[in-house]
Structure 1
Amino acid sequence: MTTTIIIELNKLDADPRNVRKTYDPAKIAELAANIDAEGVLQNLVVRAGEKRGRYYVTAGERRRKALLLLVEQGKIAKNHPVECKVRDGANATETSLSENIFREDMHPVDQFEAFSTMADGGKSIADIAAHFSVTEIIVRRRLALAKVSPRLLELHRDGVMTFEQLSAFTVSDDHERQEQVWDNLPGWDRHANRIKSNLVTGEVASTDRRVKLIGGLDAYEQAGGAVRRDLFDEQGGGYVLDVALLDKFASERLDKVAAPYREQGWKWVETAFARPDWIFNIPRIYPQEVELSAEDQADHDALASERDDLAELIDNDVAGDDAGQRVAEIDRRLDELSGKQEAYRPDDMARSGVIVFINHSGKAEAAIGIVREEDEAEETEDDANNDGTGSGETNAAGGGNIGAGKSGPKFAHPQALIEVLTAKKTAALRVELAHNPDVALAAVVHAMLLRISYGGLVSEQSALQVSITHERMGKWIKQPADCAASVAFESLQENYGHKIPGNPADLFDWCLAQSREELLSLLAYAAAHAVNAVEVKYSDRRNGIEQANQLGRALKVDMTDWFETTADSYFSHINRRGIEQAVLEAQGSDAALAVSAASKKAEAVLIAERRIKGSGWLPAPVRIAADPNAEAEAEAQSFPMAAE
Structure 2
Amino acid sequence: MTETITIPLYKLDADPKNVRKTYSAEGVEALAASIRTDGYRLLQNLVVRKGEKKGRYFVTAGGRRRAALLLLAEAGEIAKDFPVECKERSGEDATGISLSENVMREDMHPVDQYEAFSVLANEGKEIADIAARFGTTETIVRKRLALARVSPVLLQMFRDEDVSFAQLSAFTVSDDHQRQVEVWRALPSWNRDAFSIRRALTEELVAATDKRVQFIGGLAAYEAAGGAVTRDLFDERNAGYATDTVLLEQLVAEKLEAAAGTVRAEGWKWVECCTSMPEGLHSMERHYPEDVSLSEEDQAVLDAAQAEYDELAELIESGAADDEAEAKLEEVEKRIDALTARTEAYSAEALANGGAFVMLDYYGRLSIERGFVKPDDTEVTDKDEANEGLPTIVGEAKPVIPTVTHSAALIEDLTAHKTAALRIQLANNPDIALVAVVHAMLLQVAYPYNSEQSALQLSITHERLMPSMKDADSCKGLAAFNDLSENYGHHLPGNPADLFDWLLEQPQDTLLSLLAFGAAHAVNAVEKKFTDRKKGIEQANQLGRALNVDMSEWFETTGDSYFKHVNRTTIELAVAEAKGREAELSVKAAAKKTEAVMIAERLVAGSGWIPAPVRIAADDDARPVEHETDIEDNEQFPEAAE
Identity of paired residues, percent? 46
- The answer as to 2:636 corresponding to 1:627 is no
- The answer as to 2:257 corresponding to 1:252 is no
Is the 1:169–1:196 contact (alpha carbons within 8 Å) kept by the matching residues of 2?
Answer: yes
| Aligned residue runs from structure 1 range 70-469, under 5 A | 70-315=72-317, 322-372=324-374, 375-377=375-377, 469=454
CA distance 1:63–1:313, change in 2 (3 Å): closer
CA distance 1:130–1:23, change in 2 (3 Å): closer
CA distance 1:315–1:148, change in 2 (3 Å): closer
The 1-side partners of 2:444 and 2:354 are apart by: 25
- The aligned amino acid for 1:353 is G
- The aligned amino acid for 1:198 is A
Provide the secondary structure at the position in 2 that maps to 1:543.
Answer: coil
Which residue does the alignment assign to 2:42? 40
- Deviation of 1:112 after TM superposition, in Å, equals 1.5
Report Cα offsets for 1:23-78 as digits up to 9, x if no partner. Answer: 11111111111122232111111111111111111111111111111111222111
Provide the secondary structure at the position in 2 that maps to 1:97.
Answer: helix
- Deviation of 1:296 after TM superposition, in Å, equals 1.9
- The aligned amino acid for 1:616 is V
- The answer as to 2:513 corresponding to 1:547 is no
Provide the secondary structure at the position in 2 that maps to 1:350.
Answer: helix
The 2-side partners of 1:278 and 1:163 are apart by: 47
- Deviation of 1:149 after TM superposition, in Å, equals 1.1
- The aligned amino acid for 1:359 is D
CA distance 1:105–1:323, change in 2 (3 Å): closer
2:625 pairs, out of 609, 612, 616, with: 616
CA distance 1:108–1:55, change in 2 (3 Å): same
- Deviation of 1:330 after TM superposition, in Å, equals 1.8
Provide the secondary structure at the position in 2 that maps to 1:629.
Answer: coil
- Deviation of 1:614 after TM superposition, in Å, equals 4.1
The 2-side partners of 1:551 and 1:165 are apart by: 38
Is the 2:8–2:81 contact (alpha carbons within 8 Å) kept by the matching residues of 1?
Answer: yes
- The answer as to 2:14 corresponding to 1:14 is yes
The 2-side partners of 1:263 and 1:554 are apart by: 49
Which residue does the alignment assign to 1:2? 2
Across the aligned residues of Structure 1 and Structure 2, the Cα RMSD in angstroms comes to 4.2
Provide the secondary structure at the position in 1 that maps to 2:267.
Answer: coil
Which residue does the alignment assign to 1:456? none
- Deviation of 1:550 after TM superposition, in Å, equals 4.2
The 2-side partners of 1:247 and 1:379 are apart by: 35
- The aligned amino acid for 1:547 is T
Provide the secondary structure at the position in 1 that maps to 2:634.
Answer: helix
- The aligned amino acid for 1:85 is K
CA distance 1:49–1:324, change in 2 (3 Å): closer
CA distance 1:380–1:451, change in 2 (3 Å): farther
- Deviation of 1:87 after TM superposition, in Å, equals 0.9
- The aligned amino acid for 2:32 is A
How many residues in Structure 1 have an aligned counterpart in Structure 2? 458
Is the 1:550–1:627 contact (alpha carbons within 8 Å) kept by the matching residues of 2?
Answer: no
- The aligned amino acid for 1:545 is Q
The 1-side partners of 2:635 and 2:204 are apart by: 58
Provide the secondary structure at the position in 1 that maps to 2:200.
Answer: helix
CA distance 1:540–1:317, change in 2 (3 Å): closer
Provide the secondary structure at the position in 1 that maps to 2:140.
Answer: helix
Is the 2:206–2:241 contact (alpha carbons within 8 Å) kept by the matching residues of 1?
Answer: yes
CA distance 1:171–1:355, change in 2 (3 Å): same
- Deviation of 1:224 after TM superposition, in Å, equals 2.4
CA distance 1:94–1:126, change in 2 (3 Å): closer
- Deviation of 1:292 after TM superposition, in Å, equals 2.0
CA distance 1:204–1:173, change in 2 (3 Å): same
Is the 1:553–1:624 contact (alpha carbons within 8 Å) kept by the matching residues of 2?
Answer: no
The 2-side partners of 1:472 and 1:152 are apart by: 43
Is the 2:270–2:356 contact (alpha carbons within 8 Å) kept by the matching residues of 1?
Answer: yes
- Deviation of 1:555 after TM superposition, in Å, equals 10
Report Cα offsets for 1:126-172 as digits up to 9, x if no partner. Answer: 43133235454432221111331122223333444343332221122
The 1-side partners of 2:23 and 2:110 are apart by: 22
The 1-side partners of 2:448 and 2:54 are apart by: 99
Provide the secondary structure at the position in 1 that maps to 2:368.
Answer: strand
Is the 2:149–2:175 contact (alpha carbons within 8 Å) kept by the matching residues of 1?
Answer: yes
- The aligned amino acid for 2:74 is E
| Range 299-308 or range 103-112, more displaced | 299-308
- Deviation of 1:90 after TM superposition, in Å, equals 1.4
Report Cα offsets for 1:91-145 as digits up to 9, x if no partner. Answer: 2111211222221112222212211122234433343133235454432221111
CA distance 1:134–1:275, change in 2 (3 Å): farther
CA distance 1:9–1:330, change in 2 (3 Å): same
The 1-side partners of 2:159 and 2:274 are apart by: 46
- The aligned amino acid for 2:21 is K
Is the 2:503–2:511 contact (alpha carbons within 8 Å) kept by the matching residues of 1?
Answer: no
| Aligned residue runs from structure 1 range 49-60, under 5 A | 49-60=51-62
Is the 2:35–2:133 contact (alpha carbons within 8 Å) kept by the matching residues of 1?
Answer: no
User: Can you give the 5+ residue segments of structure 1 that lack an aligned partner in the other structure?
Assistant: 385-447, 454-461, 474-488, 500-516, 532-538, 566-612, 632-644
The 2-side partners of 1:86 and 1:97 are apart by: 16
Report Cα offsets for 1:308-361 as digits up to 9, x if no partner. Answer: 334445455555665443332221111112122222333234333222112232
- The aligned amino acid for 1:626 is I
Is the 2:27–2:135 contact (alpha carbons within 8 Å) kept by the matching residues of 1?
Answer: no
Provide the secondary structure at the position in 1 that maps to 2:369.
Answer: strand
- The aligned amino acid for 2:30 is E
The 2-side partners of 1:51 and 1:322 are apart by: 65
Is the 1:29–1:66 contact (alpha carbons within 8 Å) kept by the matching residues of 2?
Answer: yes
The 2-side partners of 1:252 and 1:45 are apart by: 69
Report Cα offsets for 1:248-285 as digits up to 9, x if no partner. Answer: 11111011111222122323211112223432444444
The 2-side partners of 1:224 and 1:466 are apart by: 48
Which residue does the alignment assign to 2:29? 29
Is the 2:442–2:518 contact (alpha carbons within 8 Å) kept by the matching residues of 1?
Answer: no
Is the 1:452–1:470 contact (alpha carbons within 8 Å) kept by the matching residues of 2?
Answer: no
CA distance 1:163–1:341, change in 2 (3 Å): farther
Is the 1:351–1:379 contact (alpha carbons within 8 Å) kept by the matching residues of 2?
Answer: no
- Deviation of 1:463 after TM superposition, in Å, equals 11
CA distance 1:377–1:217, change in 2 (3 Å): same
Is the 1:287–1:343 contact (alpha carbons within 8 Å) kept by the matching residues of 2?
Answer: yes
- Deviation of 1:11 after TM superposition, in Å, equals 0.8
- The aligned amino acid for 1:235 is R
Provide the secondary structure at the position in 1 that maps to 2:77.
Answer: coil
Is the 1:8–1:79 contact (alpha carbons within 8 Å) kept by the matching residues of 2?
Answer: yes
The 2-side partners of 1:349 and 1:281 are apart by: 19
The 2-side partners of 1:107 and 1:76 are apart by: 33
